[in-house]
Protein backbone atom coordinates (compact mmCIF):
# COMPACT_ATOMS: atom_id res chain seq x y z
CA UNK A 1 0.00 0.00 0.00
CA UNK A 2 1.24 3.47 -0.84
CA UNK A 3 2.38 5.69 1.99
CA UNK A 4 2.14 9.44 2.53
CA UNK A 5 5.15 11.29 3.97
CA UNK A 6 4.28 13.96 6.54
CA UNK A 7 7.09 16.13 7.85
CA UNK A 8 6.65 18.17 11.01
CA UNK A 9 9.21 20.75 12.14
CA UNK A 10 9.04 21.75 15.80
CA UNK A 11 10.94 24.99 16.36
CA UNK A 12 13.10 25.07 19.46
CA UNK A 13 12.56 28.81 19.87
CA UNK A 14 8.78 28.32 20.03
CA UNK A 15 9.08 25.50 22.54
CA UNK A 16 11.41 27.55 24.74
CA UNK A 17 9.02 30.49 24.61
CA UNK A 18 6.05 28.29 25.54
CA UNK A 19 7.95 26.75 28.43
CA UNK A 20 9.29 30.04 29.78
CA UNK A 21 5.89 31.70 29.46
CA UNK A 22 4.02 28.88 31.20
CA UNK A 23 6.50 28.64 34.06
CA UNK A 24 6.41 32.38 34.55
CA UNK A 25 2.61 32.44 34.61
CA UNK A 26 2.48 29.44 36.92
CA UNK A 27 4.93 30.97 39.37
CA UNK A 28 3.21 34.33 39.31
CA UNK A 29 -0.37 33.10 39.54
CA UNK A 30 -0.19 30.21 42.00
CA UNK A 31 0.66 30.29 45.61
CA UNK A 32 2.46 27.00 46.00
CA UNK A 33 2.75 25.51 49.47
CA UNK A 34 4.89 22.74 50.87
CA UNK A 35 3.40 19.79 52.77
CA UNK A 36 4.18 21.55 56.07
CA UNK A 37 2.12 24.62 55.06
CA UNK A 38 5.04 26.95 54.34
CA UNK A 39 5.09 28.81 51.05
CA UNK A 40 7.11 27.01 48.40
CA UNK A 41 9.51 28.39 45.87
CA UNK A 42 7.09 30.15 43.49
CA UNK A 43 9.79 32.75 42.80
CA UNK A 44 12.09 29.99 41.58
CA UNK A 45 9.30 28.68 39.39
CA UNK A 46 8.64 32.14 37.97
CA UNK A 47 12.33 32.71 37.31
CA UNK A 48 12.34 29.93 34.75
CA UNK A 49 11.41 32.71 32.33
CA UNK A 50 15.10 33.62 32.52
CA UNK A 51 15.95 30.21 31.13
CA UNK A 52 18.42 31.62 28.64
CA UNK A 53 20.89 31.54 31.52
CA UNK A 54 23.16 28.52 31.15
CA UNK A 55 22.05 26.51 34.21
CA UNK A 56 18.30 26.32 33.60
CA UNK A 57 18.85 26.29 29.82
CA UNK A 58 20.92 23.10 29.95
CA UNK A 59 18.40 21.37 32.21
CA UNK A 60 15.60 22.46 29.94
CA UNK A 61 17.31 21.36 26.71
CA UNK A 62 17.97 17.94 28.23
CA UNK A 63 14.31 17.63 29.20
CA UNK A 64 13.21 18.71 25.74
CA UNK A 65 15.47 16.14 24.09
CA UNK A 66 14.20 13.41 26.43
CA UNK A 67 10.59 14.34 25.62
CA UNK A 68 11.32 14.35 21.88
CA UNK A 69 13.02 10.97 22.03
CA UNK A 70 10.13 9.48 24.01
CA UNK A 71 7.69 10.96 21.51
CA UNK A 72 9.59 9.22 18.71
CA UNK A 73 9.27 5.92 20.58
CA UNK A 74 5.52 6.47 20.98
CA UNK A 75 5.21 7.20 17.25
CA UNK A 76 7.67 4.53 16.12
CA UNK A 77 5.04 2.75 14.01
CA UNK A 78 4.92 5.86 11.83
CA UNK A 79 8.45 7.27 12.05
CA UNK A 80 10.29 7.20 8.77
CA UNK A 81 13.88 7.23 9.94
CA UNK A 82 16.92 5.26 8.92
CA UNK A 83 19.32 6.55 11.58
CA UNK A 84 20.85 3.74 13.60
CA UNK A 85 23.30 5.85 15.63
CA UNK A 86 22.73 8.53 18.25
CA UNK A 87 24.42 10.37 21.10
CA UNK A 88 23.53 11.97 24.40
CA UNK A 89 24.36 15.56 23.46
CA UNK A 90 21.93 18.32 24.37
CA UNK A 91 20.26 20.08 21.50
CA UNK A 92 22.49 22.70 19.95
CA UNK A 93 21.57 26.24 18.87
CA UNK A 94 19.86 24.95 15.73
CA UNK A 95 18.09 22.17 17.60
CA UNK A 96 14.77 22.32 15.80
CA UNK A 97 13.10 18.94 16.01
CA UNK A 98 12.00 17.11 12.90
CA UNK A 99 9.41 14.35 12.72
CA UNK A 100 9.04 12.55 9.42
CA UNK A 101 6.04 10.27 9.52
CA UNK A 102 5.12 7.60 7.00
CA UNK A 103 1.35 7.37 7.08
CA UNK A 104 -1.19 5.41 5.03
CA UNK A 105 -2.08 6.99 1.69
CA UNK A 106 -5.61 7.70 2.94
CA UNK A 107 -4.32 9.81 5.85
CA UNK A 108 -6.41 12.97 6.08
CA UNK A 109 -3.91 15.77 5.44
CA UNK A 110 -6.23 18.21 7.21
CA UNK A 111 -4.90 16.70 10.45
CA UNK A 112 -1.28 17.72 9.77
CA UNK A 113 -1.53 20.97 11.74
CA UNK A 114 -3.11 19.11 14.66
CA UNK A 115 -0.17 16.68 14.66
CA UNK A 116 2.30 19.58 14.79
CA UNK A 117 0.37 21.39 17.52
CA UNK A 118 -0.04 18.31 19.72
CA UNK A 119 3.57 17.16 19.22
CA UNK A 120 4.76 20.62 20.28
CA UNK A 121 2.40 20.67 23.27
CA UNK A 122 3.55 17.18 24.30
CA UNK A 123 7.23 18.18 24.33
CA UNK A 124 6.46 21.43 26.17
CA UNK A 125 4.34 19.70 28.83
CA UNK A 126 6.80 16.80 29.33
CA UNK A 127 9.62 19.34 29.69
CA UNK A 128 7.56 21.35 32.18
CA UNK A 129 6.83 18.19 34.17
CA UNK A 130 10.58 17.49 34.34
CA UNK A 131 11.28 21.08 35.49
CA UNK A 132 8.52 21.07 38.11
CA UNK A 133 9.77 17.76 39.54
CA UNK A 134 12.78 19.83 40.61
CA UNK A 135 10.95 22.96 41.75
CA UNK A 136 7.32 22.09 42.62
CA UNK A 137 6.49 18.37 42.47
CA UNK A 138 2.71 18.87 42.76
CA UNK A 139 2.78 21.02 39.63
CA UNK A 140 4.67 18.26 37.81
CA UNK A 141 1.62 15.98 38.08
CA UNK A 142 -0.51 18.55 36.23
CA UNK A 143 1.91 18.80 33.32
CA UNK A 144 2.44 15.04 33.17
CA UNK A 145 -1.34 14.59 32.84
CA UNK A 146 -1.45 17.25 30.11
CA UNK A 147 1.36 15.49 28.22
CA UNK A 148 -0.56 12.19 28.35
CA UNK A 149 -3.63 13.93 26.97
CA UNK A 150 -1.50 15.54 24.22
CA UNK A 151 -0.21 12.10 23.24
CA UNK A 152 -3.75 10.73 23.07
CA UNK A 153 -4.85 13.66 20.88
CA UNK A 154 -1.75 13.27 18.71
CA UNK A 155 -2.53 9.61 18.05
CA UNK A 156 -6.12 10.53 17.22
CA UNK A 157 -4.91 13.09 14.64
CA UNK A 158 -2.50 10.57 13.11
CA UNK A 159 -5.32 8.05 12.71
CA UNK A 160 -7.65 10.36 10.78
CA UNK A 161 -8.44 8.93 7.35
CA UNK A 162 -10.15 10.20 4.23
CA UNK A 163 -13.40 8.38 3.59
CA UNK A 164 -13.31 6.18 0.51
CA UNK A 165 -15.35 7.23 -2.48
CA UNK A 166 -17.18 4.86 -4.79
CA UNK A 167 -15.72 4.81 -8.26
CA UNK A 168 -17.86 4.31 -11.31
CA UNK A 169 -17.45 0.99 -13.04
pLDDT tens, residue by residue, 77-88 = 998 766 555 555
**pTM score of the predicted model:** 0.79
- Average pLDDT of the residues in 113-122: 96
CA–CA separation, 16 vs 61, rounded Å? 9
Q: In which band, very low, low, confident or very high, does the pLDDT at 47 lie, cut at 50, 70 and 90?
A: low
Q: Are 94 and 13 in contact (CB under 8 A)?
A: no
- The contacts of residue 33 (CB under 8 Å, 6+ apart) are 39, 40
Is it the case that residue 22 has pLDDT exceeding 50? yes
Is it the case that residue 57 has pLDDT exceeding 80? no
**Could you count the other beta carbons within 10 Å of the beta carbon of residue 72?**
14
Is it the case that residue 24 has pLDDT exceeding 90? no
CA–CA separation, 169 vs 93, rounded Å? 56
Got the DSSP string for 83-128?
------PPP-TT--EEEEEEEETTB-GGGHHHHHHHHHHHHHHHHH
Is it the case that residue 42 has pLDDT exceeding 60? no
Is it the case that residue 54 has pLDDT exceeding 90? no
Q: Are 98 and 5 in contact (CB under 8 A)?
A: no
Q: In which band, very low, low, confident or very high, does the pLDDT at 51 lie, cut at 50, 70 and 90?
A: very low
Average pLDDT, the chain: 81
pLDDT above 90 covers a percentage of the chain that reads 44
pLDDT at position 145, please? 97
Classified as helix, coil or strand, 143 is helix
CA Rg value for the chain: 19
Instruction: Assign residue 40 a region (left: φ > 0; alpha: ψ between -120 and 50; beta: otherwise).
Output: beta
Classified as helix, coil or strand, 10 is strand
> How far does the chain reach from its first CA to its final CA, in angstroms?
22
The more confident residue out of 153 and 135 is 153
- Average pLDDT of the residues in 18-35: 72
Amino acid sequence: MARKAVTITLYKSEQLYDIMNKTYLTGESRKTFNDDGTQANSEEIANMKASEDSGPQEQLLGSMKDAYNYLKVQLSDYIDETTVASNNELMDDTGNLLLTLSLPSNFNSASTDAIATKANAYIVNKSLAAWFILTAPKEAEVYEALAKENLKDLNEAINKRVRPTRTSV
